[in-house]
């Protein structure tokens, strides 16, 4: 049996991480989407929007056409943004989840259509050192989502919601 390629491993990891992340959403009360155990914590609404913005950055990185996030998302969820506990500052949780699901579906579909050579391109300069190449970028995308979903796990714990893993 042939060994999976680095690309196959990275794509599998992205799918697995998103499956785990989706588990964090299943029983999350919409009225608690902006709950912050402390004022410096990221909340579910911010994390979802931030991950949508991150996917949008990856669309551009790889030249993939994908769903556009609303213009307001960059200010609300982009680099340097800070979450607020005011629920009126954010789109409804259902809308955020929809963007979250559609953006990753489109990104995975677009990545699958790329030739292997597109993932071997040096990205160190165009990503300001974030990723050496496409495979490195995909692995870091998975890590980034896991990092932020760990923050959501802490919010779930503060709300006394059941653990998603373990």
Query: Per-residue pLDDT for 2 more than 90?
Result: no
Across the chain, mean pLDDT equals 95
The answer as to whether 2 is a domain residue is no
Long-range contacts of 97-102 (CB under 8 A, 24+ apart): 97/25, 97/48, 99/48, 99/49, 99/52, 99/67, 99/69, 99/70, 99/73, 100/48, 100/51, 100/52, 101/22, 102/67
The answer as to whether 26 is a domain residue is yes
**pTM of whole model > 0.85?**
yes
The answer as to whether 89 is a domain residue is yes
Share of the chain above pLDDT 70, in %: 99
Q: If 0-12 CB within 10 Å is exposed, 13-18 middle and 19+ buried, where does residue 22 land?
A: middle
The answer as to whether 163 is a domain residue is no
Query: Per-residue pLDDT for 4 more than 90?
Result: no
13-47 pLDDT tens trace: 999 999 999 999 999 999 999 999 999 999 999 99
Report the number of distinct structural domains present in the chain: 1
The answer as to whether 165 is a domain residue is no
The answer as to whether 132 is a domain residue is yes
The answer as to whether 138 is a domain residue is yes
pLDDT in the model for residue 148:
98
The answer as to whether 8 is a domain residue is no
Query: Per-residue pLDDT for 1 more than 90?
Result: no
Phi and psi at residue 33, to the nearest 5°: -60, -25
Q: Residues 141-148: what's their mean pLDDT?
A: 98
Give the pLDDT band (50/70/90) at residue 165.
confident
Range of the domain at 142: 17-37+51-158
């Amino acid at each position: 049996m042939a060994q999976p390629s680095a690309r196959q491993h990275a794509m599998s990891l992205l799918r697995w991480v998103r499956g785990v992340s989706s588990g964090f959403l299943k029983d999350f009360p919409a009225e608690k989407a902006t709950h912050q155990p402390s004022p410096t914590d990221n909340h579910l609404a911010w994390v979802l929007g931030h991950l949508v913005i991150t996917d949008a950055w990856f669309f551009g990185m790889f030249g993939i056409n994908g769903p556009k996030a609303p213009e307001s998302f960059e200010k609300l969820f982009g680099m340097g943004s800070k979450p607020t506990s005011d629920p009126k500052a954010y789109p409804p949780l259902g809308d955020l989840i929809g963007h979250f699901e559609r953006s990753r579906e489109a990104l995975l579909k677009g990545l699958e259509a790329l030739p292997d050579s597109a993932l071997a391109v040096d990205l160190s300069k165009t990503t300001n050192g974030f990723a050496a190449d496409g495979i490195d970028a995909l692995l870091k995308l998975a890590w980034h989502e896991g990092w932020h979903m760990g923050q959501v796990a802490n919010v779930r714990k503060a709300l006394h919601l059941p653990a998603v893993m373990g």
